[in-house]
Structure 1
Amino acid sequence: MSPIVASAPASPTPVDEIADALDRVPPLQGLTFEERKWLAEHAEEIVAQPGEVLFEENTAADWMFLIMKGEIHVQRQRGGPMALFIGRAGQMTGLLPFSRMKTFGGQGVAVSPVWGLLIHKRYFPEMLAAIPSMSQRVVSTLLDRVREVTRIEQQAEKLAALGKLAGNLAHELNNPASAAQRAASSLVTELRANRQNRFKLVNLHLTTEQIHEVEAWERDVLESGRARKCGADEMIQHEEELRNWLTALPCDNAWEVAPDLAERGLTIADLERLDKILQSNGTCITLQYFARYLRSTRSVDTLISSTARIFDLIAAVKEYSNMDRAPILEVDVPAGLDATLQMLQSRMGNVVVERSYQPGLPCISAYGGELNQVWTALIENSLEAMAGCDYPGCLRIICRMEGELLLVEIWDNGCGIPAELQDRIFEPFFTTKPPGQGLGLGLDNAMRIVRKHRGHIGVRSEPGSTCFRVRLPVDQLQAY
């Protein structure tokens, strides 16, 4: 009984017609009519209509499948990187001789009328004997399949890395962008309020001498650096004293003015000095204007620092991805490490980062973007190792010269890598994560990049201490 969930045609196709049709299957082109007839005689003919399921995920794969007509989409139902594989007319797929395939990797659904041939694995030895060239054809198909699956998996790994980078960057940009938005909104509010307040100031009819004295008072307050730094209780008490003084002035919005004056460090004596200058004429209006000026200044400072942070992030992204640069360039490795840490900052809330860079390190000729992929893979591995610990994480980055080699060490105090797995972590597709959460290509990709640069990568791990070491030759002139 075939695990393929499909039916035989109502009228079986004559063997000679099937043999002629097999000549249009690219992997089988060049076979003699007799060889194609052998396949037709030993095959089980099936048909399926659009929407019908041909096979289920994880069911036994015991058949070679020759797709004569139609198209099949294979969908992974239980996660994983390769969400969709498309089988089209002319393909030889399913279980092939020499393949280690045990089960179907997804659910196969016909998206157009399908006509196919199934050859059970029990016929494989007889098929290879009857059709000598079949071995080479099968091996060639298997190699193509491995290359295609590897390409799809690597593309999925890159997309997953890009998704992480985008998420980290969005998180990092959100904070300064939100702060800048709040500051701009507050600044607009204060400017509008002072626009209304200016007419009241004009109506005070201050003399030239009073104007100079108010300017001197403001200059003294602003330049004295008396911003009050004290405990919360003391600040509340001081603010209450200023509010009471303003209320007695009287000042109708003392509750709004007092906090800014208290934060700036103004005292009752400062307020009394201003009141004496103005001769109790418009003291409240002047203090309102001054408080709004203080709030506006804070908003401007926030805008400057927030936009500076955004520009720093943009610079870090450019440094990380080596945008607008040649593929091979003089790479500042510590700068690349810092840019990578910047990209992953949002995931380091409970992690202490320690940097130890030897001064005056030389730049190396390398593919800067690829090296940053190495740092990302290693640092992410460390962060994931520390995420499950019930104690504060510590990530230590060391960069120094070791003879003629540049040595980068990435330490963490996570749970460590079991000794029996340390020799396997650089294998492609090896992962200890649950299905759908990791492809097992991050460290494999890191090793391939390091080897491309004529370098070496290794790991030493025990519970509470794991260290990845990357050694790169400084002179890369012979590396490409």
Structure 2
Amino acid sequence: MTASHGPSSGVDLAEVRSLFLFAELEDADQRWVAEHSDVRVYDADVVVFAEGQPSDALYVLLEGGLLLSKHTDGEDVVLNDTTHRGAYAGAVRAFTQSRDPNFQTTLRTTRPSRFLRLPAEDFAALVHRLCPMAVHLLDGLYEGIRMTESTMRQREHLVQLGTLSANLAHELNNPAAAAVRATEQLRSRVAGMRRKLGLLSEAGLSPELVGRLIKTQEMSVERALKPHADLTALQESDLEDAIADRLEEIGVEQALELAPVFAGSGMDAQWVDDVVEQVDSGLEWDAAFGWLRYTLETEALIDEIEEATTRISSLVGAVKQYSHLDQARHSDVDVKPGLESTLVMLARKLTGIEVHRDYAADLPPVPGYPAELNQVWTNLIDNAADAMDGSGVLTLRTRADQHAVFVEVTDDGPGVPEAVRQDLFEPFVTTKRAGDGSGLGLDNARRIIERRHGGSLTYTTGPEGTTFCVRLPLSRTH
């Protein structure tokens, strides 16, 4: 069906506040969203927007169900099928410079549904107003995600696209959200530093005193950057009390507010004395220590943003390694990077599972198709995680002899049930719960190893766990 919906209506403020996308906004901003949005009602099996149409709005599911799909390689690939309230799609990149003018996906209702509709230009204005620096960070993030999306055109490399894209989205969201939060906090800290610097300048400081203040600032930052011992809750409380007492003694009115910041940055009561001694002036200590407080908080937030963006970069690198976008299809393959990038892609599913690595040194490369081998590692590691049901030990082991490289994936789960052992590699045979697996993963893995690489895939199992062993020959006629 083409798009058809009932008459639009205004958005209730309470409904905006209940959506996770807007729940953390200030009251005035939530009201702004309510005023600039409307509610659209659709029947079941209706196209809300189609791939290629102008990307004119952000849609947030209020009730019902949606199916998000993308046309790739002559077929419609389902990206998301959900009834989760608050799921959103549409002009999600409206605030970025690299946004596409048209919808990149198609959104269809799976049942009678209601959506909050926020025009793209209003959504972009809201994001630019609330977090302008985050816009630049997310531009870079979306460029990384663009690389990920291109893997969809290589479906033979990503037979488990749904699982991998969900894991990657989760892994990218954490550092991106951390960078956005730190950016918002950084803005207020820089503003506070300017105010404190203004108070200091009003005191008519001499160039000599300004120099001593800057030297004290640099000393404090250098100290904060050094590793400091982890403290128990009691030790941290005692340290804060000692710093607060010393600040109060020199007349700092905000001592109780400043002490936790200084303690968390690795300072102590002796540091307070060092600052007083080094500056050695009758200036307002409230302004001086307030300035140092904002300095240390700013450094901590910059570190947080750097860590978050570095994590995003490493994840994009893992995706590139996993999919081998910039390499020839057939090459000499080092199996270790492929195993490691697969672990990154499946990190969310491996939460709670301990990973042991036993990689042989100087392992020779094998001739093969790296992206297809990564499909094998994905199937074997994913199955191992399912067998352990969220907790246990996963062991990855590599070794070699004169003729082949061996890769073993071992779990300490309950073992393969006796009833399916003989037919485990047959199509549609699975030990997973109904709906959790198609039974094609091991069949596909065996085809890749045997037919594409001339190797073998075997397994041993028992009550103490299961080991799958991949044998890859070192020479093969193609």
- For Structure 1 versus Structure 2, the TM-score category normalised by the shorter chain is 0.5 to 0.7
CA distance in 1: counterparts of 2:184 and 2:394, whole angstroms = 39
Assess if the C-alpha contact under 8 Å between 2:167 and 2:346 holds in 1. yes
Aligned partner of residue 203 in structure 2, secondary structure: coil
CA distance in 1: counterparts of 2:411 and 2:434, whole angstroms = 25
CA distance in 2: counterparts of 1:467 and 1:393, whole angstroms = 14
Question: Match of 2:370, as an amino acid?
Answer: G
Assess if the C-alpha contact under 8 Å between 1:157 and 1:439 holds in 2. no
Question: Match of 1:448, as an amino acid?
Answer: R
Cα deviation for residue 430 of structure 1 reads 1.1
CA distance in 2: counterparts of 1:465 and 1:233, whole angstroms = 43
Cα deviation for residue 232 of structure 1 reads 1.4
CA distance in 1: counterparts of 2:381 and 2:311, whole angstroms = 23
Assess if the C-alpha contact under 8 Å between 1:168 and 1:346 holds in 2. yes
Q: Show CA shifts across 1:327-376 (max 9, x none).
A: 11222211000010110111112111011111222222211111100001
Assess if the C-alpha contact under 8 Å between 2:429 and 2:440 holds in 1. yes
Aligned partner of residue 472 in structure 2, secondary structure: strand
Cα deviation for residue 196 of structure 1 reads 2.1
- Residue 14 (structure 1) aligns with: none
Assess if the C-alpha contact under 8 Å between 1:274 and 1:283 holds in 2. no
How do 1:212-251 and structure 2 match up within 5 A? Answer: 212-224=211-223, 225=226, 227=228, 229-251=230-252
Cα deviation for residue 463 of structure 1 reads 0.9
CA distance in 2: counterparts of 1:409 and 1:365, whole angstroms = 18
Q: Show CA shifts across 1:206-255 (max 9, x none).
A: 23333333344344444454846422111112212322333454334333
Q: Show CA shifts across 1:238-297 (max 9, x none).
A: 212322333454334333321121223333333234335343312221111111111111
> Would you say 1:324 and 2:326 are equivalent positions?
yes
Cα deviation for residue 305 of structure 1 reads 1.3
Q: Could you say if the C-alpha distance between residues 320 and 343 of structure 1 is closer, same or farther in structure 2, counting changes exceeding 3 Å?
A: same
Assess if the C-alpha contact under 8 Å between 1:246 and 1:254 holds in 2. yes
- Residue 4 (structure 2) aligns with: none
Question: Match of 1:334, as an amino acid?
Answer: K
- Residue 186 (structure 2) aligns with: 187
Assess if the C-alpha contact under 8 Å between 1:332 and 1:362 holds in 2. yes
Q: Could you say if the C-alpha distance between residues 184 and 196 of structure 1 is closer, same or farther in structure 2, counting changes exceeding 3 Å?
A: same
CA distance in 2: counterparts of 1:157 and 1:421, whole angstroms = 27
- Residue 473 (structure 2) aligns with: 473
Cα deviation for residue 321 of structure 1 reads 1.1
Question: Match of 2:297, as an amino acid?
Answer: R
Assess if the C-alpha contact under 8 Å between 1:226 and 1:264 holds in 2. no
Assess if the C-alpha contact under 8 Å between 2:354 and 2:393 holds in 1. yes
- Give the alignment's TM-score, normalised by structure 2: 0.63
CA distance in 1: counterparts of 2:436 and 2:426, whole angstroms = 17
Question: Match of 1:175, as an amino acid?
Answer: N
The sequence identity of aligned pairs, in percent, is 35
Question: Match of 1:463, as an amino acid?
Answer: P
Q: Could you say if the C-alpha distance between residues 324 and 266 of structure 1 is closer, same or farther in structure 2, counting changes exceeding 3 Å?
A: closer
Aligned partner of residue 160 in structure 2, secondary structure: helix
Aligned partner of residue 425 in structure 1, secondary structure: coil
How do 1:216-365 and structure 2 match up within 5 A? Answer: 216-224=215-223, 225=226, 227=228, 229-276=230-277, 277-365=279-367
Question: Match of 1:183, as an amino acid?
Answer: A
CA distance in 2: counterparts of 1:303 and 1:184, whole angstroms = 7
CA distance in 2: counterparts of 1:385 and 1:280, whole angstroms = 69
Question: Match of 1:317, as an amino acid?
Answer: V
CA distance in 1: counterparts of 2:297 and 2:169, whole angstroms = 28
Assess if the C-alpha contact under 8 Å between 1:275 and 1:281 holds in 2. no
Q: For structure 1, which segment, 211-220 or 295-304, has the greater mean C-alpha deviation from structure 2 after superposition?
A: 211-220
Q: Could you say if the C-alpha distance between residues 371 and 160 of structure 1 is closer, same or farther in structure 2, counting changes exceeding 3 Å?
A: closer
Aligned partner of residue 466 in structure 1, secondary structure: strand
Aligned partner of residue 469 in structure 2, secondary structure: strand
CA distance in 1: counterparts of 2:266 and 2:404, whole angstroms = 56
How do 1:386-425 and structure 2 match up within 5 A? Answer: 386-387=388-389, 392-425=391-424
CA distance in 1: counterparts of 2:157 and 2:320, whole angstroms = 18
Aligned partner of residue 348 in structure 2, secondary structure: helix
CA distance in 2: counterparts of 1:332 and 1:262, whole angstroms = 47
Assess if the C-alpha contact under 8 Å between 1:184 and 1:299 holds in 2. yes
Aligned partner of residue 398 in structure 2, secondary structure: strand
CA distance in 2: counterparts of 1:197 and 1:288, whole angstroms = 7
Aligned partner of residue 300 in structure 2, secondary structure: helix
> Would you say 1:457 and 2:457 are equivalent positions?
yes
Question: Match of 1:323, as an amino acid?
Answer: L
Aligned partner of residue 413 in structure 2, secondary structure: coil
Aligned length, in residue pairs: 321
CA distance in 1: counterparts of 2:195 and 2:215, whole angstroms = 24
Aligned partner of residue 358 in structure 1, secondary structure: coil
Q: Could you say if the C-alpha distance between residues 271 and 254 of structure 1 is closer, same or farther in structure 2, counting changes exceeding 3 Å?
A: same
Question: Match of 2:369, as an amino acid?
Answer: Y
CA distance in 2: counterparts of 1:157 and 1:167, whole angstroms = 18
Q: Could you say if the C-alpha distance between residues 227 and 311 of structure 1 is closer, same or farther in structure 2, counting changes exceeding 3 Å?
A: same
> Would you say 1:177 and 2:176 are equivalent positions?
yes
CA distance in 2: counterparts of 1:159 and 1:474, whole angstroms = 25
Assess if the C-alpha contact under 8 Å between 2:379 and 2:442 holds in 1. yes
Q: Could you say if the C-alpha distance between residues 156 and 425 of structure 1 is closer, same or farther in structure 2, counting changes exceeding 3 Å?
A: farther
Q: For structure 1, which segment, 201-210 or 234-243, has the greater mean C-alpha deviation from structure 2 after superposition?
A: 201-210
CA RMSD of aligned residues (A): 2.3
- Give the alignment's TM-score, normalised by structure 1: 0.63
- Residue 71 (structure 1) aligns with: none
CA distance in 2: counterparts of 1:321 and 1:351, whole angstroms = 24
- Residue 120 (structure 1) aligns with: none
Cα deviation for residue 298 of structure 1 reads 1.0
Q: Could you say if the C-alpha distance between residues 185 and 435 of structure 1 is closer, same or farther in structure 2, counting changes exceeding 3 Å?
A: same
Q: Which runs of 5+ in 1 are unaligned?
A: 1-154
Q: Could you say if the C-alpha distance between residues 209 and 198 of structure 1 is closer, same or farther in structure 2, counting changes exceeding 3 Å?
A: closer
CA distance in 2: counterparts of 1:353 and 1:169, whole angstroms = 19
Question: Match of 1:459, as an amino acid?
Answer: Y
Assess if the C-alpha contact under 8 Å between 2:196 and 2:288 holds in 1. no
Q: Could you say if the C-alpha distance between residues 239 and 443 of structure 1 is closer, same or farther in structure 2, counting changes exceeding 3 Å?
A: same
Aligned partner of residue 328 in structure 2, secondary structure: coil
Q: Which runs of 5+ in 2 are unaligned?
A: 1-153
- Residue 50 (structure 1) aligns with: none
> Would you say 1:203 and 2:202 are equivalent positions?
yes
How do 1:47-62 and structure 2 match up within 5 A? Answer: none
Assess if the C-alpha contact under 8 Å between 2:157 and 2:323 holds in 1. no
